[in-house]
Structure 1
Amino acid sequence: MMNKCDSQTPTNTQTMDYTQQDSYIPVLKSQLSAGASGEKNETDYPTYQFTLKDIEATESIILQELKDNGFKKPSAEEFNNKIKEVFHRIIDPKSETKYLQIKFEDKCSKNFKLFKNSNSIDANPHSTYVFKNGLFISDFYSIPEILDYTKNSDLTKYESEAEATNRSTDVKIYYWKDLSDLKNIRKQNLKTIVARNMYFFNNSTSSITWLVQHDQLFIRNLIKYFGYDKEAKFNEYVINYLNSNPLDNSKDLSDYIASKNCEGKLEIRSTFINSYETLFNTSKNVKDLIILKYLSSKIINNEIQNTFNDQDKMKILAFMANTYDPLFKQYHNQNNDWGQMTILADYRDFVGDEEWIKAKNEYKSNNYYGLPNLKSMIEYADMFDRVGAPD
């Protein structure tokens, strides 16, 4: 369910005072009575219906954990700006809603539903939540997943009594106390909450390393669905992840490089693409960027089914070629791993002279999208013949 936790920052102190923070106790008791999960006829079965009270109950717990780890609350303006920058959601200060749901696989949806990413019953997309009043973000958790309730003997007694008086015969309930890995799950959840908020709102560089090591799906989703390519270490991680199997992962790469925004406009993650050059300049290994060539071939051959039209594909190829083709020109004679063609030379040969002229005119009319290498790489592509590169 979760990655193995690590002793690296952040820490877990759990200084919550149960006598002072009793607002969540009724909700916690309800969750303890219902158990962590249920099973009916050998199939997962829901034993608890989440309401707004459940997410409200987590807010004070999370705020205390953040405080214990040195988190400094941003101003409302700073918080709102960061949410807009990262998730492209605008927080309306006049709205009375206290929470926003961020759906990674349905980024344009503004519908609100409480959904736990660990819940295998519900098929909703991966989500996280914006706590507008608390000025932090967090996935949605049951209270036992972020608070060690066993430190309160009254609560452990309450859970045991709930189990003893359970009269359900057709539903098997798995209680929180019986989850052998709950302590580690809780620790990981809290570290994740702290690291994300310290990174986004406190500019914590140490949190970058922790997130890359322990919150990898979140990082991939940030770039894939929201185009958040401003963090070099995140880009490097995703590139290495995809490069672990470049041929098979080349189709997936298209989702990281480009997507349509909520207005249907093409967005290209140029900083992410440029990170391939940065990585190559360190390694000088063509295997670090050959996936760009694999993807371009699939785009040229129309092997990828997506919402991009021909003009979109033309632009995506231009951005990829701006990075890949100059490196090909400079280094392809050093070994055979580069193959015979640049991205644009391959494109030219596939579409034929008439369509290639149209493509060149499109690039020129758009001032080459401001890409520094595109014009010269178009000229270079025109020098290729059946043998291959001119140099």
Structure 2
Amino acid sequence: MENKFLVGLLFILSFLVSCQEKKAGNIDIQPSKNSLKPDQDINIMLKKQLEYGKPSFDNPYQYSEKDLDVTVPVLSQILTDNGYKPISNDEFNTKIKQIFNRIIDPKSAGSFLYVNFLDQCERSSNYAPNDAENNGIFIIKNLNFITDLYPIPYIIDYQKLYNEAAQKEDISSKTYKDANGNEVKKYLWKDISNLKEQRKKNIQTLAARNMYLFNDSRAQYKWLVINDQYFMERLVKNFGYTEDSELLKWVIEKTEFDKNNPSDYGKLFWTKECNGNMKLHADTFKLLQKLYIPNDSSENRFILDHIKDYFEYLGNKEISQTENLTPVERIKIMSNLAYFVEQYKYDPKFNEDNKMMGRLRFFLGDKDREILKENNYFGLPKFREWWGNADYDEYFVTQCEYEGTCGPDYQPVNYTEWRKQHPKK
């Protein structure tokens, strides 16, 4: 009897915990009925947006700062209704610098900063709603949140709140003339079959991003990595935000080296900042060391293989020149990658011998080696020792891999014989 009671109690508790977790990740994203009231500025802008319909390639309506400006109070209220707690200006400014590497000037007159996800160094604002050619967010100063530019029908049930504007849309034409005088089909907002679902998704995304980044909500983090993957990946790969180890782990484990897009893998390790400096991600190396374990059956067992492939891509100056790296930056990245992999050659728990330091020796010419010395081997403690030990590995990979002379008729001499011919100095 007692055992049945305990089993029943545990079932109830697990059910309640499950419900709480589900509720935390999927909060009922709807503004309260009394929180949003009709506003004249929104009404005027809404009529313009309804007149031209949903944004499309042929749509002549040009979104502007005013389209964003009128929605800011609405977005702020929606965030409040859904549990977002604005942080102080100082905290917000610090977070924005840490995450997006942008500095908010409290003395500047502007109310917004635009963060371009396609070109993080582009500072001019783009007020077109996000699409394949434009993807970015606005940082709302003083109210301390981030948002996309949302057309009003994407965040408000306008047919209930703005009945007059909705009635006018009901009788509006379904075509308009483009700049050349051609009649083009118009996509009216009222005809979008899943508009309610898209609106809910937009509001959920708005709330989740802000609650994760500025309220440290782990429940909203879990929602974002399922439903907003592009945004979450860009935090790491575009902006070099590696301080959240759970996010970094998620990005690492879903990123493999792709020979058709090799630079994408490199974004795990470094970013080029807008001042021209290269930033190496120490957090990535630290986390990879935890993820790469002996006899691992998960996909993490391929970590060193992916690094080797990317390393060799960088080693080929001709194909990797588009990375826009200086000689010092390129050698620094390659040295850190080689150093990371080489450690497992000396760890008895692993059966690894990728000969990475030997590969580095192969790719670095005399001028490159001088750069290594001038930069004191980039402060890597055992680098000089491991570099000196890798002369045979350089010979081996040169013969068998990069020059391809190994085969049935020729095999390189073993280490003992080679060392007799090339004694250490």
With normalisation by structure 2, the TM-score equals 0.77
Task: Identify if the C-alpha distance between structure 1 residues 95 and 385 changes in structure 2 by more than 3 Å, giving closer, same or farther.
Answer: closer
| Aligned-residue CA RMSD (Å) | 2.9
* Alignment-derived partner of residue 337 in structure 2: 320
- In structure 2, the CA distance between the partners of 1:229 and 1:33, relative to structure 1 (3 Å rule), is same
Per-residue CA deviation, residues 299-358 of structure 1 (Å, 9 max, x unaligned), is 112231221122111101122223222134437963xxx66422x210102335x45742
Tell me, yes or no, if the aligned pair for 2:67 and 2:151 is still in contact at 8 Å: yes
The letter for the 2-side match of 1:70 is G
Greater relative contact order (CA < 8 Å, ≥ 6 in sequence): 1
1:133 matches 2:151: no
CA contact (8 A) 1:12 1:190 kept: yes
Q: How does 1:347-358 map to 2 (within 5 A)?
A: 347-351=360-364, 354-355=366-367, 357-358=369-370
Q: 1:373: how far off?
A: 5.0
Q: Return the index of the structure with the highest Cα Rg.
A: 2
Q: Show structure 1 runs of 5+ residues with no match.
A: 1-5, 39-43
Among residues 236, 247, 264, which one is paired with 1:252 in the alignment?
Answer: 264
Report the more deviating stretch, 209-218 or 149-158: 149-158
Which residue of structure 2 lines up, in the alignment, with residue 63 of structure 1? Answer: 76
Q: Which residue is 2:43 aligned to?
A: 25
Aligned to 2:170: 160
The structure-2 alpha-carbon separation of the partners of 1:107 and 1:387, relative to structure 1 and needing over 3 Å to count, comes to closer
Report the CA distance shift for 1:28/1:357 in structure 2 as closer, same or farther (over 3 A).
Answer: closer
CA, structure 1 residues 345+363, in 2 after alignment: closer, same or farther (shift >3 Å)?
A: farther
Where does the alignment leave 5 or more consecutive residues of structure 2 unmatched?
1-21, 398-413, 417-425
Q: Which amino acid aligns with 1:61?
A: V
Alpha-carbon deviations, 1:183-235, whole Å to 9, x = none?
22222211111111111211112222122112111122222221111111222
Q: Render the CA deviation track for 1:33-92: whole Å, top value 9, x for unaligned.
A: 211035xxxxx3023111222001211221112111111111111111111221222111
* Aligned amino acid, residue 223 of structure 2: W
Corresponding residue for 1:206?
219
The correspondence of residues 82-101 of structure 1 with structure 2, limited to 5 A, is: 82-101=95-114
Structure 1 residues 1-391: aligned runs within 5 Å: 8-15=25-32, 17=34, 18-37=36-55, 44-118=57-131, 123-124=133-134, 126-152=135-161, 153-163=163-173, 170-243=183-256, 246-281=258-293, 284=296, 285-302=300-317, 303-304=319-320, 305-330=322-347, 334=351, 340-342=354-356, 344-351=357-364, 354-355=366-367, 357-364=369-376, 368-382=377-391, 384=393, 386-387=395-396
AA at the equivalent of 2:324:
T
Distance in 2, matches of 1:102 and 1:325, equals 38
Alpha-carbon distance between aligned partners in 1 of 2:276 and 2:215, rounded to the nearest angstrom: 33
**Native 8 Å contact 2:285 2:340 kept in 1:** yes
Tell me, yes or no, if the aligned pair for 1:250 and 1:291 is still in contact at 8 Å. Answer: no
Are 2:41 and 2:70, in contact at CA under 8 Å, matched by a contact in 1? yes
**1:382 Cα shift?**
4.0
Q: For the structure 1 residues 171 and 55, does the alpha-carbon distance in structure 2 shift closer, same or farther, using more than 3 Å as the test?
A: same
Distance 2:279 2:205 in 1: 29
* Identity in percent: 29
CA distance in 1: counterparts of 2:123 and 2:258, whole angstroms: 35
Aligned residue for 1:281, secondary structure, equals: coil
Give the direction of change, closer, same or farther, for the CA distance of 1:150–1:69 in structure 2 (3 Å limit): same
How far apart in 1 are the matches of 2:63 and 2:227? 27
Equivalent position amino acid for 1:159 in 2: E
SS across alignment from 2:186: strand
Q: How many positions carry a matched residue from both structures?
A: 367
Give the alignment's TM-score, normalised by structure 1. Answer: 0.84
Aligned equivalent of 1:3: none
Match of 1:41 in 2: none
In the alignment, the residues of structure 2 paired with residue 279 and residue 380 of structure 1 have an alpha-carbon distance, to the nearest angstrom, of: 27
Distance 1:235 1:283, change over 3 A: farther
